Every structure is written in C-alpha cells, then in structure tokens.
Structure 1
Amino acid sequence: MSSLRAKIQDVFNEPACEQNRGKDAKARKKGCSKPLTPGAAAGGCAFDGAKIVLQPITDVAHLIHAPLACEGNSWDNRGATSSGPTLWRTSFTTDLTELDVVMGQGERKLFKAIREIKEAYGPPAIFVYPTCVTALIGDDIEAVCKRAAEKFGLPVVPVNAPGFVGSKNLGNKLAGEALLEHVVGTVEPDDAGPYDINILGEFNLSGEFWLVKPLLDRLGIRVRACIPGDARYFDIACAHRAQAAMMVCSTALINLARKMEQRWDIPFVEGSFYGITDTSEALRQISQLLVKKGADPEILGRTEALIAEEEAIAWKKLAAYRPRLEGKRVLLNTGGVKSWSVVHALMEIGIEIVGTSVKKSTVEDKERIKQILKDDNHIFEQMAARELYAMLSENKADIMLSGGRTQFIALKAKTPWLDINQERQHPYAGYDGMVELVRQIDLAIHNPIWRQVREPAPWDCQPAVREELPSTKSETATLHAVQEFVGTTADDFGGC
C-alpha cells in the first residue's frame, strides 16, 4: 500500500497539468479527486476509471480480483469497438466470497484464475485489477502477478487502482502508470520509422478512430499505438519507438504523455478530431511534430492538399443541412474535450450554443470555450436536473446533446435529444464524423414524433356536446344528472 500511496501522490503532482500548476503546495497534495459517494456504482471510483482506460486493449485478458459485483458494475460501460480480437469482451473475475476472505484464500484463488486463463485462452498478457475488498484484506497482488508471470511465461500486469483511493479520473492516471511501469518499452520493434506516432486518450467509441486512421494512412503516417482504442498489447509495448504523439483527452492520460516524452523523447500535442477545423488543425500539428523530429518536410504540403480536399467534400455535404439547422439552439450537457470541440464544430454550420457544461474540463478546455463563445453566461459548471428541465420546458433550446443519464430530462420536457457520450451509437470524429453528427441532429430535431407528443393528450380534452338537446325524458334526465355531478352546464362543454 505504501507504493500505491507514492504513486497517487506522484499523479496528484502533475507538472503537465495547468490546473495543478496553478495551486499552492498544500492544495496540490490534495489532488483533483472529489470525495466519493458511499454506495456509488459505475462511473465514480478509481477502479472504474482504470478499467475504462485499459479494457479497450482488445487481445488482453482483464481479470478482476474481487467479489462478482465489482466486475458487474464496471464491465462494458463504454462503447469501444475492436477490429479484430474479442477477448476483451469476455469478463473474468475471481468471484471472491466471504469464505475466501475469512480463510485467506484470495491470493491462491487469483493464481489459479491466472493459470486457467492462460491454459484456456493463451492471451499475450493478463491485466489484474484489485478492488476495495482485496486491497483492504491485504492481498499482495504484485507478488502474485510476478510469480505467475515467471511460472506461465507471459506478462501479468497488476493494475493497482482499488476504488477507495479516489475518483474515476485518478483511476485513469493510475492505469497510465501501470502501462508505463509494466508494458511500454518491454518490446523492441524491428520496423520503427520516421512517421510513427501514438494517439493517446482515443477510445474508438463507436469506431470513431476508424474515421481518422485512413486520413493518417493517406499521409503515410503510421499509428504505432492508439491507447487504448482498438489497441493490441504488442503495439503498446512498442509505443516507445514512436516519433510523436497526440493527446485527445488530456485529463485521462496526461501523465502517460509527459513521462513518455521524458523517457523516450516523444513530443506530444493536445488536439481534437471533432469538427472540420479542429480535425484539420490536428493533422497539421502531427505533421509539424514529425518534421521537427526529422521527417521529410514535404509531408507538410501533402497534409495541406489532403485537408483542402477533405474539407471541400465535407462542406459540400454540410451545405444541404445548413438551411435546416442554421439558427437552431443546442444545449450541451457533457464535459472534457467535448465541451469545446463539439461547440466549435456545431458553430461552424451556424448552430447557436445556448449553454455548455464544463464538468471534468481542464482549465485549458474552459479557456477554449470562452474564446469560442465569447460569453461566460453560456458556460455552467454543473446544471441540476431541475434546472435542465426548466430550461428545456421553457423552449430555450431546440435539442440537447448529452449522455444517457440525462436523456429522460429531455424526453420529459418533450425536447429532442442526442447521445454524444460514451454510449453513443454513431461515430462523430473526423470529417465524415462531423457530417454524421449534423445528420443525426437534423434527424432528431425534425422527427415528426415531437410535434405529436407536444399535442394535448386525448384524456385532457372533453368531447364537444352536439347542439341538439336530447329529445326523450330519460336522455334529458341523464344529461342533467351528469352535469350536476361534474358541476357544469351544457354551455360549459366544448372541445380542446
């Protein structure tokens, strides 16, 4: 546990983080983690954050050393995809029970599980995740992993990020530390070249990375490792031979990018593949970094030619949507890199941003938003569900873009909604992704269902009474009885 505490303090003191550098020494030691909510499930703890970062490594077996519920809460809560191996889709856990804890069988059960995975699946590596229970009872995960690696002849990587040590963001960084300590640099490639790069913080949600990689391929740029989206263990082990790197989400793996620059002289730049302008700028920055590292400067010209060609195609496709979407108002309830990159992307086609959240956004993210919107009134740290509903029900936005947790607020307010978080079904990165995002917004806003759900319900309307009064005494008596009961007269009856 002492080594874990040292790692946590090292992650808290992150010199590459602008927000961390702005704190005094006392505040810096406290780090960025928020107090955990007892009983919170997926999305709240360090274990969940570590699993999010490492599970998209597709050919690795991910073994959770914990009671079954720990794995149940964290498994498959992101829409990452694979172009090949499917082992990462298999859930492995030691399923620790109360009897195992009382009898001290945790370490033996873990070793047995590693052996069974090795014999049944033969993966290139096994990642082992302790959780709160196994960390508290003192199971020596690192010793078991080391012994298993020697016995079975394959890497067994301990990912020391039990849930109680901090937030999901801290778990992201501890996962990066595990890669640095046990994976990156352990294999020497025989095909290193001057155009090799790493992409860090790209999760390949809904296959988004597959919209970006063809652009890099056309420039002759090889992605040595995309961490973690659609990654392979061997690629990450060889990632130290890349010439440059791009950070897509700095709050997740900034420590990995900085330490790879220190150890192996791999410069990195932060960018985004959301939106036409940002995608073009990201391609330029990558090419410029490679030239600084010794690549042929002619790649700069090829990059500009590619950008001009792809932008022309994208703008031509978007022209059909501009008359339908120009002036439409969008409320963004997301965070991180999407809080500014998606804002910029939507404003490019004339959509108005009425508000964007900056939850989980860095200081640099917030500064970018201020530069883009030029108005702090449209920026909110976190909006309560009641406030979101009030804003939507008062028709201050034509659509809300958010994650699945707030979709029912929009639906209750009878407002179109589109998922842009990790559970999304469509890729929005790159030039083609921007066109797809605009297409989905157009489909959502102009879906005829919204006109129907906003109409009064049939039970809210009283049927109109015909002008002719009943002619028989029985019918007249019945009508008078009904009118007396509801406290109305015949003149009060009418339609909606």
Structure 2
Amino acid sequence: MSLLRAKIQDVFNEPACEQNRGKDAKARKEGCSKPLTPGAAAGGCAFDGAKIVLQPITDVAHLVHGPLACEGNSWDNRGAASSGPTLWRTSFTTDLTELDVVMGRGERKLFKAILEIKEAYGPPAIFVYPTCVTALIGDDIEAVCKRAAEKYGLAVVPVNAPGFVGSKNLGNKLAGEALLEHVIGTLEPDDAGPYDINILGEFNLSGEFWLVKPLLDRLGIRVRACIPGDARYVDIACAHRARAAMVVCSTALINLARKMDERWDIPFFEGSFYGISATSEALRQISQLLVKKGADPEILGRTELLIAEEEAIAWKKLAAYRLRLEGKRVLLNTGGVKSWSVVHALMEIGIEIVGTSVKKSTVEDKERIKQILKNENHMFEQMAPRQLYAMLSERKADILLSGGRTQFVALKAKTPWLDINQERQHAYAGYDGMVELVRQIDLAIHNPIWRQVREPAPWDCQPAVREERPRTRIETVTLHAVQEFSGTTAGDFGEC
C-alpha cells in the first residue's frame, strides 16, 4: 500500500500540462488537475477510471479481482470499437464472496483464474484489477501476478487502482502508470521508422480514430500505438520506439506522455481532432515534431497540401448547413477536452454557444474556453437538473449537447438533444466527423416532432362556443341520471 500511496502522490503532482510548463517550480507542482480527496468518487471511482483506459486494449483479458458487482458496474461503459480481436468484450472476474474473504482464499482464487484464462483463451497478457475489497483485506496482487507470469509464461499486469483511492480521473492516470511500469518497453519492434507516432488518450469511440488514421496514412505517418483505442498489447509494448506523440485527452494520460518523453525522448503536444481547424493544426504539429526528430522536411509540404484539400471538401459540405444553423444556440453539458474542443468546432460554422460545463475540466481547459468564448459567464461549474430544465424550457438554447444522464431533462423541456459523450452512436472526429456532427445537430433541431410536441394538447384547447339547442325530454332525463350516478353537475363537464 505504501507503493500505491507514492504513485498516487506522484500522479497528483503532474507538471506536464502546456500552461504548467511556464510556471515556477512551486506552482508547477500543483499540476493540471485540482486536488482530489481519496474516497471521493464523483463521476466514478479510480477502479472505474483505470478500467475505462485499459479495456479498449482489445486482445488482452481484463480480470477484475473482487466481488461480482465491481465488474458488472464497470464493464462495457464506453462505446470504444475494435477492428479485430473481441476478447476485451468478455468479462472476467474472480467473483470473490464473503467466505473467500473470511477464509483468506482471495490470492489462490486469483492465481487459479489466471490459469483458467490462459488455457481457455491464450491471450498475450492478462490485466488484473484489484478492487476496494481485495485492497482492504491486503491481497498481494503484485506478488500473485509476478508468480503467475513466471509460471505460465505470459504477461500478467497488476493495475493498482482500487476504487477508494480517488476519482475516475485519478484511475485514468494510475492505468497509465501500470502501462509504463509493466508493458511499454518490454518488447522491441523490428520495423521502427522515422514516421512512427503514438496517440495517447484516444478511445476510438464509435470508431472515431478510423476517421483520422487514413489522413495519417496518406502522409506516410504510422501510428505505432493508439492508447487505448483499438490497441493491441504488442503495439503498446513497442510504443517506446515512436518518434513523437499527441495527447488527445490531457486529463487522462498526460502523466504517461511526460514520462515517456523523459525516459525515451518522445516529444508530445496536446491537441484535438474535433473541428476543422483543430484537426488541421494537429496534423501540422505532428509533422513538425517528426521533422525535429529527423524526418524528411518534405512532409511539411505534403501536410499542407492534404490540409488544403480536406478543408476545401469539408467546408463545401458544411456550406449546406451554415444557412440553416447560423445563429442557433447550443448548450454543452459535458466536460474535459470536449468542453473547449467542441465549442471551437461549432463556432467555426456560426453556431452560438450559450453555455458549457467545466465540471470535469482542468484549469487549462477553462483557460482555453475563456480564450474561445471571451465570456466567463458562459461557463458553469455545475448546473442542477432544475436549472437546466428552466434554461431549456425558456428556449434559451435551441439544442442540448450532453451525455445520456441529462437527455430526459431536455426531452421534458421539449428541446432537441444530441449525445456527444462516450455512449454516442456517431463518430465526430476529423474532417468527416465534423461534417457528421453538424449534420446530426441539423437533423435534431429541424426534426418536425419538436413543433408537434410544443403545440397545446387537444384537451387543453377551448373549442368555439356553439349555440346550444333545447334538449329533448329523453336527453334531459339521461343527463340527470348520469349526474346523479357520478355526483357531477353540468358545469363540471367544461366547454369541451
């Protein structure tokens, strides 16, 4: 546990953010993430965060050492996609019971589970995740994994991120530490070249990375490892031979990027593939870093040609939507890198941002938002559902972009909603992804269903007053009988 505490403290003092590099030593120690209280699991626990980062490694078996509920709550909570192996879609757990805890059988049960997975699936590696229960009872995960690796001849990686140590974001970083300590650098590639890069923090949600990779392929740039989206164990083990790196989600794996730079001299930058300008700038910076590391400078010219060609195609496609969406108001209830990257992408086509959530954003993310929006009043730390509903029902926004948790607030307010979080069904990265994002916003806003649901219900309308004819004797007797039976009067039936 003392080793785990040292790792946690190291992660808290992360100095690698772009803005932190310009600070003095004392301010830089504060890192890019605000301090978190161990045990506080707002937005998910550390175990959940570690599983999110590592589960998209597709050919690895992910074994959760703990009660069954821990695996059930963390499995398949991201819409990551794989182009090949499906082992990561299989759920493995030691299913620790109360009797196992009392009798001290946790370590033996873990060792047996590793053997069963090896014999049944033969993966190149097994990642073992301790949970709160197994960490508290003192199961020596490191020793079990080391012994199993020696005996069975495969990589068994302990991921020390039990839930109680902190938040999901802390778990993201602890997952990066596990890769750095046990995986990266353990194998040597036989085809390393001057155009190899790593992409860190890209999860390939809905296949987003597949919209970006063809652009890099056209430039002759090879992605040595995309961590973790659609990754393979061998690729990550050889990631130390890349020449440059791009960090997509800085709050998740910035510590991994910094330490790979220190250990293997792999320079990196923080960028985004959301939006036309952001995608172009990311391609430029990748090429520039590769040239600094010895690549042929002619790649800079090819990059500019590619950017000019792709931007022309994208802007031509977006022109059809600009007239329909210009001036439309968008409310963003998300966080992290999307709190500023999506904002910038939408503003490029004339959409107005009336607010963006910064709940899960770092100090640096907030600075970027201020530079883009020029208005701090459009940033909110947290908005209660009641406030969100009031803002939408008063038509202060034409559409809400958020995750699934707030979709029902938008629907109750009769406001269009689009999912842009990890559960989304469409890919929004790169040039084609930006066109798709705008297309989905256009479809949502102009869907005729919203005009229909906002109209008064038929039973709320007041029909025209008709001149009432005298009732016949039979009608009068019938009406009195109904009133006597139901206890109502003629006035209770209303105008309709």
Q: TM-score per shorter chain, which class? A: over 0.9
Q: Is the 2:328–2:352 contact (alpha carbons within 8 Å) kept by the matching residues of 1?
A: yes
Task: Out of 282-291 and 31-40, give the one that drifted further.
Answer: 31-40
Alpha-carbon shift at residue 212 of structure 1 (Å): 0.1
Query: How many Å separate the matches in 2 of 1:484 and 1:32?
Result: 74
Query: How many Å separate the matches in 2 of 1:24 and 1:307?
Result: 37
Give 1:302's aligned residue.
Answer: 302
Q: Is the 1:132–1:162 contact (alpha carbons within 8 Å) kept by the matching residues of 2?
A: yes
Alpha-carbon shift at residue 373 of structure 1 (Å): 1.1
Q: 1:150 to 1:220 in 2, by over 3 A?
A: same
Query: How many Å separate the matches in 2 of 1:103 and 1:392?
Result: 55
Alpha-carbon shift at residue 304 of structure 1 (Å): 0.4
Q: 1:409 to 1:468 in 2, by over 3 A?
A: same
Q: 1:342 to 1:331 in 2, by over 3 A?
A: same
Query: How many Å separate the matches in 2 of 1:27 and 1:304?
Result: 38
Deviations 1:3-48 (A, max 9, x none): 0001111111111146878999999999888899999989410000
Give 1:152's aligned residue.
Answer: 152
Deviations 1:135-187 (A, max 9, x none): 00000000000000000000000000000000001000000000000000000
Alpha-carbon shift at residue 459 of structure 1 (Å): 3.5
Alpha-carbon shift at residue 474 of structure 1 (Å): 3.9
Query: How many Å separate the matches in 1 of 2:67 and 2:329?
Result: 46
Q: Is the 2:13–2:30 contact (alpha carbons within 8 Å) kept by the matching residues of 1?
A: no
Q: Is the 1:65–1:134 contact (alpha carbons within 8 Å) kept by the matching residues of 2?
A: yes
Query: How many Å separate the matches in 1 of 2:268 and 2:203?
Result: 18
Q: 1:189 to 1:293 in 2, by over 3 A?
A: same
Task: Out of 142-151 and 27-36, give the one that drifted further.
Answer: 27-36
Q: 1:248 to 1:195 in 2, by over 3 A?
A: same
Query: How many Å separate the matches in 1 of 2:78 and 2:247?
Result: 19
Q: Is the 1:34–1:166 contact (alpha carbons within 8 Å) kept by the matching residues of 2?
A: no
Task: Out of 75-84 and 19-28, give the one that drifted further.
Answer: 19-28
Q: 1:32 to 1:347 in 2, by over 3 A?
A: closer
Q: 1:490 to 1:170 in 2, by over 3 A?
A: same
Q: Is the 2:37–2:166 contact (alpha carbons within 8 Å) kept by the matching residues of 1?
A: no
Alpha-carbon shift at residue 486 of structure 1 (Å): 12
Query: How many Å separate the matches in 1 of 2:490 and 2:96?
Result: 72
Alpha-carbon shift at residue 455 of structure 1 (Å): 1.6
SS of 1:478 mapped into structure 2: helix
SS of 1:126 mapped into structure 2: strand
Query: How many Å separate the matches in 2 of 1:388 and 1:460?
Result: 26
Alpha-carbon shift at residue 461 of structure 1 (Å): 3.8
Query: How many Å separate the matches in 1 of 2:110 and 2:138?
Result: 13
Deviations 1:450-481 (A, max 9, x none): 11111222343466564232430342466689
Query: How many Å separate the matches in 2 of 1:313 and 1:305?
Result: 13
SS of 2:29 mapped into structure 1: helix
SS of 1:201 mapped into structure 2: strand
Q: Is the 1:358–1:380 contact (alpha carbons within 8 Å) kept by the matching residues of 2?
A: yes
Deviations 1:235-255 (A, max 9, x none): 000000000000001100010
Task: Out of 19-28 and 98-107, give the one that drifted further.
Answer: 19-28
Q: 1:413 to 1:39 in 2, by over 3 A?
A: farther
Q: 1:219 to 1:230 in 2, by over 3 A?
A: same
Q: Is the 1:19–1:363 contact (alpha carbons within 8 Å) kept by the matching residues of 2?
A: no
SS of 1:468 mapped into structure 2: coil
Query: How many Å separate the matches in 2 of 1:214 and 1:481?
Result: 78
Q: Is the 2:14–2:29 contact (alpha carbons within 8 Å) kept by the matching residues of 1?
A: no
Q: Is the 1:33–1:170 contact (alpha carbons within 8 Å) kept by the matching residues of 2?
A: no
Query: How many Å separate the matches in 1 of 2:55 and 2:447?
Result: 36
Deviations 1:340-381 (A, max 9, x none): 111111111111111111121122221211111111111111
Q: 1:232 to 1:388 in 2, by over 3 A?
A: same
Query: How many Å separate the matches in 2 of 1:15 and 1:333?
Result: 28
Q: 1:373 to 1:200 in 2, by over 3 A?
A: same
Q: 1:412 to 1:18 in 2, by over 3 A?
A: same
SS of 2:320 mapped into structure 1: coil
Give 2:87's aligned residue.
Answer: 87
Task: Out of 370-379 and 412-421, give the one that drifted further.
Answer: 370-379
Deviations 1:71-120 (A, max 9, x none): 00000100000000000000000000001001100000000000000000
Task: Out of 162-171 and 41-50, give the one that drifted further.
Answer: 41-50
Q: Is the 2:46–2:169 contact (alpha carbons within 8 Å) kept by the matching residues of 1?
A: yes
TM-score, length basis structure 1: 0.94
Q: Is the 2:334–2:356 contact (alpha carbons within 8 Å) kept by the matching residues of 1?
A: yes
Query: How many Å separate the matches in 1 of 2:166 and 2:33?
Result: 6
Give 1:462's aligned residue.
Answer: 462
Give 2:386's aligned residue.
Answer: 386
Task: Out of 450-459 and 231-240, give the one that drifted further.
Answer: 450-459
Give 2:346's aligned residue.
Answer: 346
Query: How many Å separate the matches in 1 of 2:288 and 2:19?
Result: 27
Please show how residues 163-312 of structure 1 align to structure 2 within 5 Å: 163-312=163-312
Q: Is the 1:16–1:255 contact (alpha carbons within 8 Å) kept by the matching residues of 2?
A: yes
Please show how residues 64-83 of structure 1 align to structure 2 within 5 Å: 64-83=64-83
Query: How many Å separate the matches in 1 of 2:176 and 2:216?
Result: 25
Q: Is the 1:45–1:171 contact (alpha carbons within 8 Å) kept by the matching residues of 2?
A: yes
Q: 1:19 to 1:487 in 2, by over 3 A?
A: farther
Q: Is the 1:18–1:363 contact (alpha carbons within 8 Å) kept by the matching residues of 2?
A: no
Q: Is the 2:198–2:227 contact (alpha carbons within 8 Å) kept by the matching residues of 1?
A: yes
Q: Is the 2:187–2:237 contact (alpha carbons within 8 Å) kept by the matching residues of 1?
A: yes
Q: Is the 1:465–1:494 contact (alpha carbons within 8 Å) kept by the matching residues of 2?
A: no
Q: 1:482 to 1:118 in 2, by over 3 A?
A: same
Query: How many Å separate the matches in 2 of 1:19 and 1:289?
Result: 19
CA RMSD of aligned residues (A): 2.9
Query: How many Å separate the matches in 2 of 1:422 and 1:221?
Result: 27
Query: How many Å separate the matches in 1 of 2:358 and 2:143?
Result: 41
Q: 1:322 to 1:481 in 2, by over 3 A?
A: farther
Q: Is the 2:334–2:421 contact (alpha carbons within 8 Å) kept by the matching residues of 1?
A: yes
Q: Is the 2:330–2:352 contact (alpha carbons within 8 Å) kept by the matching residues of 1?
A: yes
Q: Is the 1:196–1:243 contact (alpha carbons within 8 Å) kept by the matching residues of 2?
A: yes
Q: Is the 1:46–1:166 contact (alpha carbons within 8 Å) kept by the matching residues of 2?
A: yes
Q: 1:391 to 1:49 in 2, by over 3 A?
A: same
Please show how residues 374-453 of structure 1 align to structure 2 within 5 Å: 374-453=374-453
Q: 1:88 to 1:429 in 2, by over 3 A?
A: same
Query: How many Å separate the matches in 1 of 2:228 and 2:439?
Result: 28
Query: How many Å separate the matches in 2 of 1:20 and 1:487?
Result: 75
Unaligned 5+ segments in structure 1 are none
Query: How many Å separate the matches in 1 of 2:421 and 2:376?
Result: 23
TM-score, length basis structure 2: 0.94
Q: Is the 1:41–1:73 contact (alpha carbons within 8 Å) kept by the matching residues of 2?
A: no
Query: How many Å separate the matches in 2 of 1:464 and 1:335?
Result: 51
Query: How many Å separate the matches in 1 of 2:489 and 2:61?
Result: 75
Q: 1:19 to 1:3 in 2, by over 3 A?
A: farther
Q: Is the 1:276–1:345 contact (alpha carbons within 8 Å) kept by the matching residues of 2?
A: yes
Q: 1:327 to 1:280 in 2, by over 3 A?
A: same
